[in-house]
């Protein structure tokens, strides 16, 4: 008999399992995939740790969370500084003085400020109600047209006018020459890849792979006092109120016999005529010096039950449906719903670690 059956070996499941095991509880972790780690899983190809489910950069302001993950694996000093490629020209991201210099040739913050303010004024938006209006109110029309509009419409498969404002608020805007994509105090990548982090978390814990909870729900429930479910919220209820929508991704990975393909881990392709959204060159996440390289082209696509769910579509319709499922989830005794899929939320890794630590603390009270 187990104290906890943990469905999903992603970060939420792995952190929770570690904490409860350390508190003396007996845990069984299952995952339907062939590997542990969920979406942070990295696969070693020719000595390069390949981010199989998209680029993952750990960043946090919380010292406890940073120290916690570093206690399982050492993190490097990687700072995310993606580039944007538009019609043969490169721009630095996030939007900062380097971007403004590349866009207009301005060298002083006040010159950049003046251009952006003028464009914002000309657009005449008082209260932004969608992503397009929000973006123009933040950075003006030139940056919107070159770096945001077509990329966002490729990424989300929807017009900027039909998307919520919060998506674009994530990106910093700076009037300094600073290409750091994040504002957080701590940032890095586990040396040796994320799989090493998850292996550390799950050390000495029983894990069964290629086990789908829904194929043997009753048998699995009967061997544990409590269940922690980190899979899809709507799937738990057999989609009986309807499907929650997601944006999915398709990855095309290629090994190349050259040491350096693009000189940076992430290059976004912001024009609509190029079908992929970005190219990752994995070795640069860990400053690799291997003689060959591995690159991944990332294509955005609509989600169907046949492909992986990546980005929840948190619009009004889906929020309403998710809330109806969540209400039912609360009423189920001895089942804890946690993680990005069970909560139908886009969460960064540090938020997932924080929530799993909190959930484990509550269980131990
Ligand atoms: P998951 O990793 O999805 O784990 C859930 C696990 O449950 C999976 O392994 C799945 O196979 C398993 N499972 C589901 N259903 C069943 C079932 N029925 N039976 C058995 N097992 C099941 N965060 C950052 O902080 N920085 C980044 O740079 C970053 N980049 C990202 C890029 C992309 C493209 C995406 C989509 C996300 C990114 N994130 C990033 C977010 C990060 O991936 C998540 O915060 C994190 O992986 C969530 O962990 P989780 O355990 O909640 O979910
Ligand atoms: N975005 C953009 N151009 C870029 C990068 C991002 O317009 O070059 C927008 C896009 O709408 C995206 C959002 O900013 O969905 C958030 O970007 P982030 O890099 O955080 O997206 P993620 O890495 O989660 O896909």
Looking at all shown ligands, the one closest to residue 278's CA atom is 2
Same domain? For 72 and 193 the reply is yes
Would you say residue 316 has pLDDT above 90? no
Choose the final residue of a domain: 117, 136, 169: 169
Do residues 166 and 129 make contact, with C-beta atoms less than 8 angstroms apart?
Answer: no
User: Which of 158, 174, 297, 345 is the catalytic position?
Assistant: 174
In a domain, 144, yes or no: yes
* Pair 318, 346 in one domain: yes
Residue 49 belongs to a domain with what CATH number? 3.40.50.720
Distance 339 CA to ligand 1 centre (A): 8
Looking at the fold, whether 66 and 87 belong to one and the same domain comes out as no
- The label of the residue with tokens 């070996």 reads 9
Question: What's the rounded mean pLDDT across residues 63-76?
Answer: 98
Helix residue ranges, H only, the chain: 11-22, 63-70, 97-104, 109-123, 131-143, 149-156, 166-169, 194-201, 217-221, 233-236, 316-330, 340-343, 349-364
CA distances from 99 to 55, 129, 162, 250, 275 (A): 22, 26, 26, 29, 23
Look at residue 8 and tell me if it is in a domain: yes
Question: In this structure, which ligand is nearest to the CA of 82?
Answer: 2
Single out the residue in 169, 197, 213 at which a domain terminates: 169
Residues 193 and 228 in one domain: yes
pLDDT at 60 over 90: yes
Query: Among 246, 278, 286, 340, which one carries the catalytic annotation?
Result: 278
Say if 292 falls within a structural domain. no
Identify whether 180 is part of a domain: no
For a ligand 1 pocket test, name from 7, 37, 56, 345 the mutation site with the most ligand atoms within 8 angstroms of its C-beta: 56
- Ligand 2 binding pocket (C-beta < 6 A) is 84, 93, 147-148, 151-152, 155, 167-168, 170-171, 268, 270
The ligand 1 atom at the shortest distance from the C-alpha of residue 338 is 52
Note whether 72 and 87 are same-domain residues.
no
Residue 139 located in a structural domain: yes
Q: Which of 138, 169, 200 is the last residue of a domain?
A: 169
Whether 44 and 19 share a structural domain: yes
Average pLDDT over residues 57-67: 98
Q: What is the longest distance spanned by two Cα atoms in the chain?
A: 68
Residue in 247, 297, 311, 319 annotated catalytic? 247
54 and 191 together in one domain: yes
**Does residue 49 form part of some domain?**
yes
| Rg value, the chain, Cα | 22
How many angstroms separate the alpha carbon of residue 358 from the centre of ligand 2?
29
Across residues 314-323, what is the average pLDDT?
A: 93
Judgement on whether residues 54 and 118 belong to the same structural domain of the protein: no
**Residue 170 falls in the annotated catalytic set:** yes
- Closest ligand, as measured to the CA of 83: 2
Annotated catalytic residue 208: no
pLDDT at residue 187 is higher than 90: yes
pLDDT given for residue 314 in this prediction: 81
- Set 46, 74, 122, 170: catalytic member: 170
Nearest to 162 by CA among 201, 131, 137, 139: 131
348 a catalytic residue: yes
List, for residues 250-270, the tens digit of each pLDDT value.
999 999 999 999 999 999 999
Is 163 found in the same domain as 101?
yes
Active site residue 218: no
Number of domains the chain is built from = 2
Q: Which ligand 2 atom is at minimum distance from the Cα of 93?
A: 8
Asked, for residue 265, whether it belongs to a domain, the answer is no
Cα of 340 vs centre of ligand 1, distance in Å, is 7
Domain presence at residue 274: no
Q: Are residues 141 and 228 in the same domain?
A: no
pLDDT at 315: 84
What average pLDDT does range 80-99 have in this prediction?
98
Percent of the chain with pLDDT over 90: 98
**Active-site entry in 298, 325, 340, 343:** 298
At 5 the pLDDT is 98
Domain coverage including residue 323: 2-78+187-245+313-364
For residue 253, how many C-alpha atoms fall within 13 Å in the half-sphere facing its CB?
A: 17
If one residue of 181, 349, 353, 354 were mutated to test the ligand 1 pocket, choosing by the most ligand atoms within 8 A of its CB, it would be 349
Catalytic (active site) residue 158: no
Top mutation candidate among 197, 218, 230, 237 for ligand 1, by most atoms within 8 Å of CB: 230
204 shares its domain with 158: no
Residue 237 sits in the same domain as residue 104: no
- Structure token pair of residue 141: 């029309």
Q: Does residue 33 carry a catalytic annotation?
A: no
Q: What is the pLDDT of residues 35-54, one digit of tens each?
A: 999 999 999 999 999 999 99
Q: Is 174 a catalytic residue?
A: yes
């Amino acid at each position: 008999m187990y104290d906890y059956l943990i469905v999903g070996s992603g970060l939420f499941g792995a952190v929770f399992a570690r904490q409860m095991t350390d508190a003396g509880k007996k845990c069984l972790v299952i995952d339907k995939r062939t590997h542990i780690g969920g979406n942070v899983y990295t696969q070693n190809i020719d000595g390069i740790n390949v981010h199989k489910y998209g680029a993952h950069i750990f960043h946090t302001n919380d010292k406890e969370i940073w120290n916690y993950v570093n206690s399982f694996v050492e993190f490097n000093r990687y700072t995310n500084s993606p580039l944007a490629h538009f019609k043969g020209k490169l721009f630095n991201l996030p939007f900062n003085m380097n971007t403004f210099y590349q866009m207009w040739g301005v060298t002083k913050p006040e010159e950049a400020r003046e251009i952006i303010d003028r464009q914002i004024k000309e657009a005449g938006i008082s209260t932004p109600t969608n992503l397009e209006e929000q973006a123009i109110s933040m950075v003006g029309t030139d940056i919107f047209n070159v770096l945001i509009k077509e990329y966002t419409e490729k990424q989300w498969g929807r017009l900027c006018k039909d998307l919520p404002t919060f998506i674009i608020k994530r990106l910093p805007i700076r009037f300094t020459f600073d290409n750091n994509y994040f504002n957080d105090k701590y940032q890095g990548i586990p040396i040796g890849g994320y799989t090493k982090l998850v292996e550390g978390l799950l050390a000495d814990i029983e894990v069964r792979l290629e086990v789908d909870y829904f194929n043997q729900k009753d048998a699995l429930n009967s061997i544990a006092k409590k269940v922690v479910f980190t899979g899809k919220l709507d799937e738990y209820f057999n989609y009986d109120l309807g499907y929650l929508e997601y944006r999915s991704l398709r990855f095309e990975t290629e090994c190349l016999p050259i040491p350096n393909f693009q000189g940076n881990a992430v290059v976004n392709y912001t024009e609509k005529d190029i079908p992929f959204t970005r190219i990752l060159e994995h070795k640069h996440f860990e400053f690799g010096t291997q003689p060959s390289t591995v690159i991944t082209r990332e294509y955005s696509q609509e989600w169907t039950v046949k492909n992986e769910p990546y980005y929840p579509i948190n619009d009004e319709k889906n929020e309403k449906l998710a809330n109806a499922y969540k209400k039912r989830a609360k009423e189920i005794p001895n089942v804890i719903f946690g993680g990005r899929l069970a909560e139908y939320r886009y969460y960064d890794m540090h938020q997932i670690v924080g929530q799993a630590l909190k959930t484990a603390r509550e269980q131990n009270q």
